[in-house]
Chains A and B, each alone.
Chain A
Amino acid sequence: MKLFNKKLMFVIASCALAFGSVYAQNTAPAKGSHAQIPCTTCHTQMTPTVAIPTTAQCQQCHGNFAQLAQKTAKLNPRFNPHDSHMGAVDCTTCHAMHKQSNLMCNDCHGFTGNGTEMK
């Protein structure tokens, strides 16, 4: 009976994920351009326990740290979020797709201006 329940749950979860994630029902839809792409683009491992995309996953589309650092080199004269003393930080430390993002630099620092108010 227990085994049957687990199997059933898996089938239900799989169906739900195929038609729009069960998580998506409990969270805001993805922001910006990410709303236009299938959930599975980022959430490649569709098990209930592994939901957060890895940095490698993000970088498949967005480029590596060196490329990102170049893009944000002139964002703000006081800091470059992709080239900081913290090194290769996980993307999801700052970037969130289903909730407010948070610039981790300002957990400690007091930077102002461009790049400090994340969506």
Chain B
Amino acid sequence: MTDKKLSRRGFLGTALATSTIGFTGIAKAQSNQTQNEKWDKEADVVVLGCGAAGLMSALQAHDGGAKVLIYDKGLSPYQTSTRLNGGLFSACNSRRQKEKGIKDSPENFAQNLMDYGLGLCAAAPVNTFAKNSGQCFDWLEDHGLAAHDLDPYPGHNVLRSIRQKSFSGVDYIDCLTKQLNDRGLTINHDMPLYRIIYDKENNRVLGVECGHKGKTEKIKANKGVVLATGGLTGSTKSVDKWNPLYTASVPIGGPTNDGQAMMIAVRDVGLPLTHMQYFAAYPQAIACGPRRGPMLRFQYLVANGAVLVNKDGKRFVKETEGNTQITPLMLKNPDGCMYVLMNDEIFEKTAKERPFGALVSLPQWDRARWDKEIARGKTIVRANTLDELADKLGINKEGLKKQIQDWNGYCSAQKDPQFGRTKFGIPLDKGPYIAAKTNIWICLSHGGFRVNEKLQPLNWEDKPVEGLYAAGETVGGVHGGAYLGGDACGFAHTSGYVVGRLLTGKEVAL
């Protein structure tokens, strides 16, 4: 594309063709600053990122007739946060829900999100998510998504989260990449966003420059650029930068999820960011290495009788509480950690109920790896008596023994005066005992751009930037101040679905 083709007439033509996507103002001639750009490539839609949000937007835009080009900083869609997902998608009015006769509404879903998110959710993207999530999930189901079923999740007041049988986000990437291949679409890897070419005078993004310094490509985007570059959980540095409370956490994420693309949008388009200090912080990392380790789904152990105690040996929460709501309470414990306490009977029963990879996951463990960690004796310990167990983990012995004695009393009475837990399971009246020490585990950042309901980022004066869309983790505030399960995966796919359709004039619920 040469600068000749970007004449005033050409630009107006583009504006008219895209009027369905909200290009309402009368386009002025391009400013001097941007009219001399020499483009290497041209497409209708340029997608940045290849997780669920990026791939879904690319597929929808392609199916709507757009020419799509995809650029990605990493080396594979299997290295994105979507791959690291636990295979849980929350959707409202999905076919699955309807088949089971479950009554749900976008308003109800949005309210659940808002309540769980401490009232801090951004309404616009939440509404768009709630209204389109069911249709989006049905699309995945119609396009070969591996086996799944509805699974209850604390915080959702109806059955709406859909769990992959595999407990793994690999299913979504398998599905999306197959669809990509079927359409002959490819991803340009190792091509990070380098610059956004923004016509400030007309408040419109014209294209992007991707690649490495001295070796970049300039791509013109006739209809729009989709920023689906992911969040901040790829490195300890990018988490620590925004939240000092989480500097001992175990962040997992695609290795390229360092927030760089968002900062480039701040630099080049002047976009403000919101919710940057908030993360999905689960109280369940087994920190086997320095700020590295898998996630223990302690809820399954709790369902069979496990309790959560702190270094003083005391319970500090109703164990059946939503897990991200346990996090702030865990942070107040003497060492900022908690100890999942069970006995052999509870553990063996739980291990038999579901695949071991569902109990310790992301990445999935087998029993041998669990036993090896017990042999190391650093994060998971096993002992015949509570005294011995407390010694091994440095927990207050007397405190622990008193607490467990009390707890066993609550089990007999089926009443928990301490925290009001109503499900008790197997009492902790005989050993051997097992305890796993857990830290904060982070897989999602809440921070990103402020957007309108069409997922267009808002600029410094709250006006949507034309020619630019955000999808997935780059959208700020969807999860407010606390993360409700299944919504990140659901939002990633749904936001991509919505943006891809909006860019090609297809109907979406707004």
| Minimum CB–CB distance for B248 against chain A, Å | 15
Q: Which of A87, A102, A104, A109 contacts B363 (CB 8 A)?
A: A109
Q: Which of B252, B292, B363 contacts A110 (CB 8 A)?
A: B363
Task: Tell me if B368 and A87 are in contact (CB < 8 A).
Answer: no
Residues of A within 8 A of B79 (CB): 85
- A103 to B, closest residue via Cβ: B289
Residues of A within 8 A of B150 (CB): none
Is residue B6 contacting chain A, with contact meaning CB distance below 8 A?
no
Using a CB-CB cutoff of 8 Å, which residues 97-117 of chain A contact chain B? 102, 104, 106-110, 112
Q: Which of B78, B292, B366, B368 contacts A107 (CB 8 A)?
A: B292
Known: A85-B78, A112-B368. A107 touches B255 (CB 8 A): no
Q: Which of B254, B289, B294 contacts A104 (CB 8 A)?
A: B289
Task: Tell me if A108 and B293 are in contact (CB < 8 A).
Answer: yes
Is residue B98 contacting chain A, with contact meaning CB distance below 8 A?
no
Q: How far is the CA of A68 from the CA of B293 in the complex (A)?
A: 25
- A110 to B, closest residue via Cβ: B369
Is residue A86 contacting chain B, with contact meaning CB distance below 8 A?
yes
Residues of B within 8 A of A108 (CB): 252, 288-289, 292-294, 363
Residues of A within 8 A of B366 (CB): 110
- Count residues on chain A whose CB falls below 8 Å from chain B CBs: 11
- B252-281 vs A, CB cutoff 8 Å, 1 = contact: the mask equals 101110000000000000000000000000
Q: How far is the CA of A87 from the CA of B364 in the complex (A)?
A: 20
| Minimum CB–CB distance for A4 against chain B, Å | 40
Is residue B23 contacting chain A, with contact meaning CB distance below 8 A?
no
Q: How far is the CA of A87 from the CA of B235 in the complex (A)?
A: 12
- B320-359 vs A, CB cutoff 8 Å, 1 = contact: the mask equals 0000000000000000000000000000000000000000
Task: Tell me if B292 and A104 are in contact (CB < 8 A).
Answer: yes
| Minimum CB–CB distance for A38 against chain B, Å | 30
- A45-58 vs B, CB cutoff 8 Å, 1 = contact: the mask equals 00000000000000
Q: How far is the CA of A86 from the CA of B254 in the complex (A)?
A: 8
| Minimum CB–CB distance for B236 against chain A, Å | 12
Q: How far is the CA of A9 from the CA of B469 in the complex (A)?
A: 60
- A65-101 vs B, CB cutoff 8 Å, 1 = contact: the mask equals 0000000000000000000011100000000000000
Known: A85-B255, A87-B255. A110 touches B365 (CB 8 A): yes
- B285 to A, closest residue via Cβ: A108
Task: Tell me if A110 and B368 are in contact (CB < 8 A).
Answer: yes
| Minimum CB–CB distance for B366 against chain A, Å | 6
Residues of A within 8 A of B368 (CB): 110, 112
Task: Tell me if A102 and B255 are in contact (CB < 8 A).
Answer: no
Q: How far is the CA of A30 from the CA of B276 in the complex (A)?
A: 44
Q: How far is the CA of A68 from the CA of B75 in the complex (A)?
A: 18
Listed from nearest, the 6 A-B pairs whose CB atoms lie closest are A107-B289, A110-B369, A107-B292, A85-B79, A107-B288, A110-B365
- Which A positions have Cβ atoms within 8 angstroms of B? 85-87, 102, 104, 106-110, 112
- Which B positions have Cβ atoms within 8 angstroms of A? 75-76, 78-79, 252, 254-256, 288-290, 292-294, 363-366, 368-369, 372
Q: A85-B78, A102-B289 are in contact. List 7 more A-B contacts (CB 8 A).
A: A85-B79, A86-B255, A104-B292, A107-B288, A107-B290, A107-B292, A110-B365
Q: List 26 A-B contacts (CB under 8 A).
A: A85-B76, A85-B78, A85-B255, A86-B255, A87-B255, A87-B256, A102-B289, A104-B289, A106-B288, A107-B289, A107-B290, A107-B292, A107-B293, A108-B252, A108-B288, A108-B289, A108-B292, A108-B293, A108-B294, A108-B363, A109-B363, A109-B369, A110-B363, A110-B364, A110-B366, A110-B372
